[in-house]
Every structure is written in structure tokens, then in C-alpha cells.
Amino acid sequence: MKFLSLIFGNLRRKKLRTALTVLSIIVAFVLFGYLGAIRAAFLAGIDVAGADRLITRNKVSLINLMPMAHLAEIERVEGVDMAAHNTWFGGIYQEPSNFFAQIVVEPEALLELFPEYVVSEEDQRRWLATRTGVLIGRGLAERFEWSVGDKVPIMNPLWSQQGGDPNWVFDVAAIYDGAEQGVDTSQMFIRFDFFDEARSGGQGLVGWYTVRIDDPDRAAEVAVAIDQVFANSPDETKTEPEGAFIQGFANQMGNIGFIITSIVGAVFFTILLVAGNTMAYSVRERINELAVLKAVGFTDGGVLGLVLGESLVITVIGGGIGLALAWLMVSAGDPTGGALPVFFIPLRDLLLGVLLIFVLAFIAGIFPARMAQRLQVADALRR
């Protein structure tokens, strides 16, 4: 306790310097938290991808459609529990910049395959009873302030209705929440029966299949078995685990993880210089005092602890406030106004942040602390 009041006493001596150091540490941790959320947004879905789900798409590319008849053949493959087809709708709501994913699905199969989309009984019934109905994520609903019963007009250059009209109108029938943090709630699901009947061409063709397997450990084996079924057919397939599929998509955007880690590294290096230098300066300034402490009976270790303790107090205050501020900024919403599928600081990053607080405190404080520890009383007092 006496120790702690000594530390606080020292920090209060040059209030301005302490405040500035704390402020620069706050900045570092705000950036750390915020960039963590941005990385999570770009890699959205990888952590929550179902280990028991595979994605089967056309081998040539995702834009090449496949016959719906593949479904029955996929379900016959050993190890496959169930499968469902999906089709990219790709329409525009008012402006192209209002982009969000619209996917055409079989409603019952979607609800069965994706337990992470939580839909109330009432909403489920309403969606199953409304042919033009869509299921939308909570994030999407909040972004455009849509609620159940609203009509949503969507222009689609890719799929027009019979007669050539590219304008579609859907009814918001149900809203889903994510069962856990990190579930993408920015999507819209359209009913296949309505879509297939209304579209002007391409009946019976679908985009890709989601396949649930019995045993996640056999994923690679089952994927190969599925692709073999369609080998040498006009529509060869490529099957991979859902996580790998999403990771592959993220990889295409560039090495977001690497870029963000580099930036965070540069930030911490910078702050380390500032904080470490300040600590060193304040120790040099107080050499006389530290010598007196030693003269009155403080051990070498005690003085070391005192200086490290100061460093720790500064970084804990700065880091704590910084992480809290980052949390508040992220909770206030994403910078694009809702275009990112998820926006939150993953728990893992928060824990890493706490760990970094201690690492930073140690590295910034250890050199001045060693200097204080090695101080010869007689020499120091003579200065």
C-alpha cells in the first residue's frame, strides 16, 4: 500500500507529462481495438462457419450456375446428411452503394441448415406463408429501417421477371438475429419457389449448394466424393468446407490481416518509443531521490519494482481507457453506415489487448528500472 502511494505520488509530480503519456497510450489502444473490429469485419464468417458444412459450387467459377438436379445426387453421397441450394440474386436497392447480399433459398432447408440464424416461430410461419416474403438480418433491418410488413423494391439487372421487368418487390416477412457475435446479419433471403417461377429464364438452375455432413472429421473425404459424382459431366463441381470457402473469398481482397497487423505494429512501436523515453527521462531526473530511497533501506529490487510499477500504472490506465473507448466507438456503428457484415471487437482481441498492456508496461519500464536498480548510492548522491 505504501508502495502504491509512492508510485502515485511520483506520477503526480509532473502531471502534464503523465497525462500526455497516458493520452498517447490511449491512442494506441483505441487504434488497436478499432482495427481489430475492422479485421473481424473483413474476415467475417470464418470463425462462425459451421465445421459440418461444405460448399459445392461450379468448378469453373461461382457465377456459373448448376442444375437443381445435383441436389438429389449430392444427398445420395455417403456421409452427407442434407443439402440445400442457393442462388445469388444480386439486385440493387436504390443505389449500387447500398450493397447487401441477397440469396435465393429454400426456406425450410435454410432454417434447418443454419441454426445460427435465430427466427421466432411467428416469423417463421409468416415467411413460409408468404411467397413474396423475405427473411432479413437484424443488421440489415436496422440499416434501412425496415420492419415486418414493409415492401422492398429491388432492381435486378441480372434476373428480370417474365416480360422483362427488372424491378422486383418483396415483403419483409421475418427478421433473424445472430445466435452469437460474428454471425452476419446483413443478408436477405428470398424464396426459391417464387423466384424460379417469376424469373424470365434459367428455370431449374441454381448457384451453389450448402451440404451438411454427418462427421466433420471426414469433411475432406466427403468433399472429394461429391466432386467425383460430377467429374467429367458438363457441370463439374468444387467442394470445400464453408470456412475455407469464406477464407478464400477474404484472401482475394488482399492480405487484410497482414496490413492491419503491420499498422498496429507501427503504432505500438511509436508509442513504445514515446512512453519508454518518458519513463527513462523521469528516472534520470530523480536519480538523487532514488539514491535517497536506497540509502534509507529500499532494496535494489524494491527500486526496480517502484519504477516498473509506475510504468504499469500508466499503461494500465491508458490501455484500459483506450480499449474502453474503442469499444464505445465500435458500438456506435461501423464507418460505412452498415455495409460491413459484422462490426465488433472479438473477445480474443480484447484479451490480447489486456496482454499487450502488460507487455508494453514491461518493455517501456524495464530499461529505466534496471538503471534505477543498479544505481550506486554513493555515486548518485554525489551528483
Partner 1 sequence: MFRSITQIFQVTRFSIASLPRRLGSSLSAMLGIAGVVAVMVGVLSIAQGIMSTMKSSAGAANVIVLRSGADTEMTSGLGGDEARLITEAPGIARDGDQVIASRELFVMINLPKRSTGTDANVPVRGVEGQADRVREGFRLVEGRMFQPGLNEVIVGVGARREFQGAALGDTLAVGSEQWPVVGVFETGGGLAESEVWVDAPVLQDAFRRGNSFQSVHATLERPGAFTEFKDALTSDPRMNVKVQTEAEYYEGQSRLLYNLITGLGTLIALIMGLGAVFGALNTMYTAVSSRTREIATLRALGFRSGPVIVSVLSESLLLALLGGIVGAGLAWMAFDGFRGSTLNFSSFSAMTFAFDVNAPLLIQGIVFALLIGFFGGLFPAIKASRTPIAHALREL
- Residue 60 touches partner 1, criterion: CB under 8 A: yes
The answer to whether the CB of 219 falls within 8 A of the CB of 54 is yes
Burial class (CB in 10 A: 0-12, 13-18, 19+), 262: exposed
Gap between the Cα atoms of 21 and 349, Å rounded:
23
d(CA 42, CA 5): 45
Instruction: Tell me how far apart the alpha carbons of residues 380 and 383 are, in angstroms, rounded to a whole number.
Output: 5
Q: Does 142 bind partner 1 (CB under 8 A)?
A: no
Q: Binding to partner 1 by residue 354, rule CB under 8 A?
A: no
- Return the C-alpha torsion angle 87, 185, 53, 127, nearest 10: -60
Largest interatomic CA distance in the chain? 97
Binds partner 1 (CB under 8 A): choice among 328, 336, 355, 359: 336
Q: Of the candidates 35, 40, 141, 330, which one interacts with partner 1 according to CB under 8 A?
A: 35
In the bound state with partner 1, the residue whose beta carbon lies nearer, of 102 and 109, is 102
Site for partner 1 in 301-330 (CB under 8 A): none
The interface region with partner 1, picked from 171-179, 230-238, 297-305, 354-362 by CB under 8 A, is: 230-238
Beta bridge partners of 90: none
Binding test (CB under 8 A) with partner 1, winner from 180, 252, 378, 382: 252
When binding is defined by CB under 8 A, the residue of 94, 120, 181, 255 that contacts partner 1 is: 255
69 touches partner 1 (CB under 8 A): no
The 5-24 site mask, x for binding partner 1 (CB under 8 A), equals -----------xx--xx-xx
What grid cell was written down for 215? 462427421
Task: Tell me which stretch binds partner 1 (CB under 8 A): 76-84, 209-217, 243-251, 368-376.
Answer: 243-251
Q: Are 166 and 155 in contact (CB under 8 A)?
A: yes
DSSP SS3 for 349: helix
- Of 185-224, which residues contact partner 1 (CB under 8 A)? none
Q: Does 124 bind partner 1 (CB under 8 A)?
A: no
> If you search the block for the grid coordinates 530511497, which residue do you land on?
293
Residues 55, 190, 331, 252, Cα dihedral to 10°: 40
* Contact status: 94 vs partner 1 (CB under 8 A): no
As given in the structure block, the three cell numbers for residue 69 are 438436379
Q: Using only C-alpha atoms, what is the Rg of the chain? A: 29
Q: Is 261 in the site for partner 1 (CB under 8 A)?
A: no
Q: Which is nearer to partner 1, 101 or 148 (CB)?
A: 101
Residues 6+ apart with CB under 8 A from 63: 88
- Determine the interface stretch with partner 1 among 102-110, 246-254, 303-311, 343-351 (rule: CB under 8 A): 246-254
Smallest distance from the beta carbon of 357 to partner 1, in angstroms? 16
Q: Which residues bind to partner 1, rule: CB under 8 A?
A: 16-17, 20-21, 23-24, 27-28, 30-31, 34-35, 38, 59-64, 90, 92, 96-97, 99, 155, 157-158, 166, 232, 234, 236, 238, 244, 247-249, 251-255, 259, 263, 266-267, 269-271, 273-274, 276-278, 280-281, 335-336
